[in-house]
């Protein structure tokens, strides 16, 4: 059983990481459960940089295998916003305010120009300090209102076909989501390492 610390205490992320990695023989624990109280400043300008900052900060404390991710929403009509500022868009950490802001900024923008994607970059640092990164993208468009009870963040306004990401079941979302894709790429890497 490979044990690794997730550089997050977000229960939604922890659940998603465990669902994909535990069947591969990985025990994933949150940094809180590992007794680490660290909140490194995300000073990077890309998801890859911020993901690495988080992973390296926890690795430097724990000196064991660490996994971290940085993810967010890129809206084409907004020049890639909110991007790396997804969690604090508009100067707040409130999901409803974030969704309202994106919808209001896209007022009058037609369907075909409302394209967007979620991007996730996972950084893995093994017990020896070697770093690897894995990327996943989830394409869709921005809706006109919040819909659905599942998910978090921008899921209620992120449309995939006729449903929002927040209307998908966890299983449906894991099969196509940015984090699911990045995690599966990481899982393939782990499997090949064990051979």
pTM: 0.90
* Helix-helix angle 11-21:178-194, to 10 degrees: 40
Catalytic residue numbers?
70
Taking only the tens place, the pLDDT of each residue in 82-107 is 999 999 999 998 999 999 999 999 99
134: left (phi over 0), alpha (psi -120 to 50) or beta: beta
Triad 147, 84, 151: Cα angle to 5°: 25
The kind and range of the H/E element at 54 are helix 47-62
The answer to whether 122 and 142 are in contact (CB under 8 A) is no
Q: What is the pLDDT of residues 45-62, one digit of tens each?
A: 999 999 999 999 999 999
What number is the average pLDDT over the span 116-126?
A: 97
Q: What is the pLDDT of residue 194?
A: 66
Q: What is the pLDDT of residue 174?
A: 81
pLDDT in tens, 128-174: 999 999 999 999 999 999 999 987 899 999 999 999 999 998 888 88
Nearest to 73 by CA among 140, 172, 15: 140
Taken in order of first residue, the domains within the chain and their CATH numbers are 2-194 (3.90.950.10)
Residues 195, 164: Cα–Cα separation, whole Å: 39
């Amino acid at each position: 059983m490979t044990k690794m610390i997730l550089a997050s205490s977000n229960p939604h992320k922890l659940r998603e990481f465990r669902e994909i990695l535990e069947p591969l023989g990985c025990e994933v624990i949150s940094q809180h459960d590992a007794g680490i109280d660290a909140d490194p400043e995300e000073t990077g300008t890309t998801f890859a940089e911020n993901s690495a900052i988080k992973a390296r900060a926890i690795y430097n404390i724990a000196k064991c295998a660490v996994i971290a991710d940085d993810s967010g929403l890129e809206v084409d009509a907004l020049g890639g916003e909110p991007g790396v500022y997804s969690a604090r868009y508009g100067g707040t950490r409130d999901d409803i305010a974030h969704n309202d802001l994106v919808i209001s900024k896209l007022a009058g923008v037609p369907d075909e120009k409302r394209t967007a994607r979620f991007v996730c970059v996972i950084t893995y640092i093994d017990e020896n300090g070697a770093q690897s990164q894995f990327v996943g993208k989830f394409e869709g468009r921005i809706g006109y209102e919040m819909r659905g009870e599942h998910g978090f963040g921008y899921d209620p306004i992120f449309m995939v076909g006729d449903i929002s990401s927040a209307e998908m079941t966890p299983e449906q979302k894991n099969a196509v989501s940015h984090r699911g894709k990045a995690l599966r790429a990481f899982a393939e890497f782990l499997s090949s390492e064990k051979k």
